[in-house]
Amino acid sequence: MIANEQLRSTDILSREKILSDYRLAYESRQVSLLGRRDVMGGRAKFGIFGDGKELAQLAAATAFNRGDFRSGYYRDQTFVAALGELRWTEFFAQLYAHTDLEAEPNTAGRSMNGHFATRWLDEQGLWRNQTELYNSVCDIAPTAGQIPRALGLAYASKLFRNNHALTDLTNFSHNGNEIVFATIGDASTSQGMFWEAMNAAGVLQVPLLMSVWDDGYGISVPVEYQTVKGSISKALAGFQRDGDDKGMEIFTVKGWDYAALLETYQQAAHICRTQHVPVLVHVQELTQPQGHSTSGSHERYKSKQRLAWEVEHDCNRVFRQWILENGYADNEELEAIEVEAKQLAKRARISAWDAYQASLKDDFDDALDLLQQTARHNAKSTELMAIREELRKTFSPVRRDAVSAIRKALRVLRNDTGAGRQRMKAWLERTNAENADRFSSHLYSQSPESPMLVEAVPAQFTDDSPVLDGYLLLQRYFESLFTRDERIVALGEDVGQIGDVNQGFAGLQEKFGEIRITDTGIRETTIIGQGIGMAMRGLRPIVEIQYFDYVYYTLATLTDDLATLHYRTKGGQKAPLIIRTRGHRLEGIWHSGSPMGTMLSSLRGLHVLVPRNMTQAAGFYNTLLKGDDPALLIESLNGYRLKETLPANLDEFCIPLGVPEILRSGSDLTVVTYGSMCRIVLEAAGQLAELGINVEVIDVQTLLPFDVHQVIIESVKKTNRVLFADEDVPGGASAYMMQQVVEGQNAYRYLDSAPATLSAKAHRPPYGSDGDYFSKPNADDVIETVYAIMSEADPARFPQL
């Protein structure tokens, strides 16, 4: 039976706390009401609020300790405020998209309201002491997207408790006593991320306290359409631990029952913290007084009876009645609290709006002045003053209005050489730089630990350097890595006992233990979530996605959460996770392994590395582990059995990111490629030499970043022809490389032939050697493509084949 145990007496219920909680609950409701009014009045673009959830969040916050983590839902405003981590001025500043970190320290205006983030990085981007903070991981809007990382945050506590070599990392944990408060709406529990994470939490036995805020609807869709049995606690009843069977504890509690909520969260947190057992708290009979969001009214889909029920069961209303009935205060005292709370909310709103407006005023006024001054003695005075008047009349102007006005004026003055135009250009240059910082900075690390700052250390070889299969070289590398850094953790399907499917970790679990090299279930999304959470807590996880194609299972978590984390907090949070996978030439529709264009389009914010062999992979791992950015590294699947020379400085050599390597010098044509295609292109280059064509072959090595020193353009200046070759579909990574070089490096200026791409067919390769040959580029394709380019340029010397 799913039910709470008999509630124990508690010393939490003091008159002071009760009235303090009522005050905060009332304040939170008022800012929700005012926030909706601001959206409807045009001050803000969109609003989503936590009204109706106030009491449950107050109770959860009471059980939250310093060092704990909240991986939450965008309705958690009362929760975060109760921890002292949200001022109401900050709430409104986020609603208005105020870009000043002092005004809006959560996301610097980059996320819509309700997205809260503790700044656990200092101004340099280095770690603060997380155990001294009430930690909120920056919320994300995609439903259930916050859940995979919650599993990883909790798993980190398990590692800190069970791996005694980590005890000196006291800035991140005190013996794994930290628990993770995950929150989610009841409708979002229908998502696979939630079910996968709950299953994994039960298997792993981690301190995850999952709160489900159940208000009966997912926008307009009632719970009976969302969840079997109409109840997530009933649906998860089979996960309840029982006797010797591991699982989780499940509590149910009404969202309007203040005393029961406090007691439930005390019990749940105690179990989580002391026993490292996951707990589900299903908070039922919550309401949503303003509906889902400012996008519409819930009166469209809720019956009159349901709306009346929600008024009667409003948690703040019931709390007020309970206070009066139990004699904690009289009506006059509560009315005084309410008046003060309303005034406080209004003052916060006014203060935040005034501060936001003041942040815009200088640029707005400067633009008006520039337009007026320039118009005074200018032949285009009428047009300039019309632009100024349009700007002056703008209702609730934002930064774009002033910038757009000056850009229009510069077009009007395109033939003008006067001082006014020069002042406008200088103003625009300054504001563009400032707005680049406001809106486009911190996609990658800007700290002293950025991997872009890691200096190259060449691999060293001696006459005695052994020659090994690629997988054995990686074994040597990982063994050394795990020996020298206790923070390193590896996990994934088949990583542990058998040492991964290609034996890179063979024998290492036996040496370093299951706590550091760990097998997982077949659950790619939460494998990534485990890695994100661990990386957020100072560990250095290398998580494995067995084959590159399987990254699709994880893509939502990678793109919505990990890739945007540093950006959406403007450098306030980071998760330097390394995702290891293998791809390229494996045969078959489901393992063809080169969806690189998808990664490039989705994972800006991660580095994407494509080493051609295992030596290069080891050098990149060294570089990444000295840095603090997340990365995806794709090893060449058909390279594990190829022979490589073991570097003498395997532990130290570093390959810089964004620096291509010229594998073969040539003068007739440049071929730009990466990964397994390097071997194919080099083979083709040898045969092309016999045909009188001297090809320069460049391995880009990393796609994100791409050729930061513009090595490729220097080659094109020499050869005047370029071919981009890879195994992705047409228009994928080959087109990306072409854009980077032809447009980004202005290679078109030096081309005597049209730039070309050589990619795989538009479909996935069928199974078998013939399927691979006829679907992906091979040496014959490279030879004939290069020859055709040369034949067009010099048909007499290179007649058509």
pLDDT above 50 (res 681)? yes
Picking from 251, 158, 166, the residue whose alpha carbon sits closest to that of residue 204 is 158
Q: What is the mean pLDDT of residues 422-428?
A: 97
Q: Which two tokens stand for residue 488?
A: 């390193």
Measured in whole angstroms, the distance separating CA 226 from the mean position of its chain's CA atoms is 27
> Are 764 and 621 spatial neighbours (Cβ–Cβ below 8 Å)?
no
Average pLDDT over residues 539-568: 97
Query: How far apart, in Å, do the first and last CA atoms of the chain sit?
Result: 78
Q: Are the beta carbons of 537 and 173 closer than 8 angstroms?
A: yes
Query: Could you give the angle at which helices 331-375 and 399-412 cross, rounded to 10 degrees?
Result: 10
Is the confidence at residue 663, as pLDDT, over 70? Answer: yes
Contact 96, 72 (CB under 8 A): no
Q: How many CB atoms lie within 10 A of CB 539?
A: 25
3 state DSSP class of 196: helix
pLDDT at 86: 97
Is the pLDDT at 587 greater than 80? The verdict is no
As given in the structure block, the two tokens for residue 31 are 């800012």
CA distance 84 to 449: 31
The CB-based long-range contact list for 295-298 (8 Å cut-off, 24+ gap) reads: 295/46, 298/217, 298/220
Cβ atoms 62, 111 nearer than 8 A? no
Tell me how far apart the alpha carbons of residues 203 and 207 are, in angstroms, rounded to a whole number. 12
Q: What is the pLDDT of residue 244?
A: 84
pTM, full prediction: 0.96
- Does 7 score more than 70 pLDDT? no
Instruction: State the residue for tokens 């560990």.
Output: 539
Picking from 49, 17, 50, the residue whose alpha carbon sits closest to that of residue 266 is 17
**Per-residue pLDDT tens over the stretch 292-332:** 888 888 989 999 999 999 999 999 999 999 999 999 999 99
Among 219-223, 320-324, 383-387, which is the least confidently predicted range? 219-223
pLDDT for the residue 588: 82
At 58, the amino acid letter reads: L
Phi then psi dihedrals of residue 86, to 5 deg: -145, 120
Asked if residue 719 has pLDDT above 70, the reply is: yes
Length of the chain: 801
Give the pLDDT score at 1. 25
Alpha-carbon gap, residue 222 to 712, rounded angstroms: 57
Q: Which two tokens stand for residue 727?
A: 């195994």
What does the pLDDT read at residue 11? 60
Tokens 């590159």: give the residue. 548
Q: What is residue 295's predicted lDDT score, i.e. its pLDDT? A: 84
- In this predicted structure, what is the pLDDT of residue 254? 98
Quickly list DSSP for 536-555: HTT-EEEEE-SSGGGHHHHH
Q: How far apart are CA 281 and CA 4, in angstroms?
A: 10
| pLDDT for residue 28 | 97
> CA-to-CA distance for 57 and 376, rounded, in angstroms?
60
Q: What is the pLDDT of residue 594?
A: 87
Q: Which pLDDT score, from 0 to 100, does residue 591 have? A: 81
Residue 217 contacts residue 223 (beta carbons within 8 Å): yes
DSSP state of 560: I
Residue (of 203, 197, 207) closest to 526 by Cα position: 197
Residue 220, SS3 per DSSP = coil
Q: Which pLDDT score is estimated for 450?
A: 98
**CA distance readout (Å), 595 to 475, 548, 583:** 27, 8, 9
Angle at alpha carbon of residue 139, lines to 144 and 129, rounded to 5°:
125
The pLDDT of 257-265, averaged and rounded, is 97
Q: What ranges in 326-414 are assigned the alpha helix state H?
A: 331-375, 381-392, 399-412
Residues 484-506: pLDDT tens digits?
999 999 999 999 999 999 999 99
Gap between the Cα atoms of 483 and 463, Å rounded: 26
Contact by Cβ (8 Å): 181, 209: yes
**What is residue 2's predicted lDDT score, i.e. its pLDDT?**
38
The C-alpha atoms of residue 152 and residue 182 are separated, in whole angstroms, by: 11
- pLDDT of 6 > 80? The answer is no
Evaluate if residue 183 carries a pLDDT over 60. Answer: yes
Q: Is the per-residue pLDDT at 801 higher than 80?
A: yes
The conformational region for residue 338 under phi > 0 = left, psi -120 to 50 = alpha, else beta, is alpha
Question: What secondary structure does DSSP assign to 730-780, as a single string?
Answer: TTSHHHHHHIIIIITT-GGGG-SS--EEE---SSPPPSSHHHHHTTS--HH
Q: Give me 661's structure tokens.
A: 């390597």
Q: Which long-range contacts (CB under 8 A, 24 or more apart) does 231-239 make?
A: 231/282, 231/284, 232/186, 232/189, 232/280, 232/282, 233/2, 233/280, 233/282, 234/2, 236/198, 236/280, 237/2, 239/198, 239/199, 239/202, 239/280
How far apart CA 584 and CA 593 sit, in angstroms, is 5
| Closest to 595 (Cα-Cα) out of 607, 613, 610, 605 | 610
Band of pLDDT at residue 13, cut at 50, 70 and 90? confident
What number is the average pLDDT over the span 51-57? 97
Structure tokens belonging to residue 9: 């007496």
What rounded mean pLDDT belongs to the chain? 95
Q: Is the pLDDT of residue 517 over 80?
A: yes
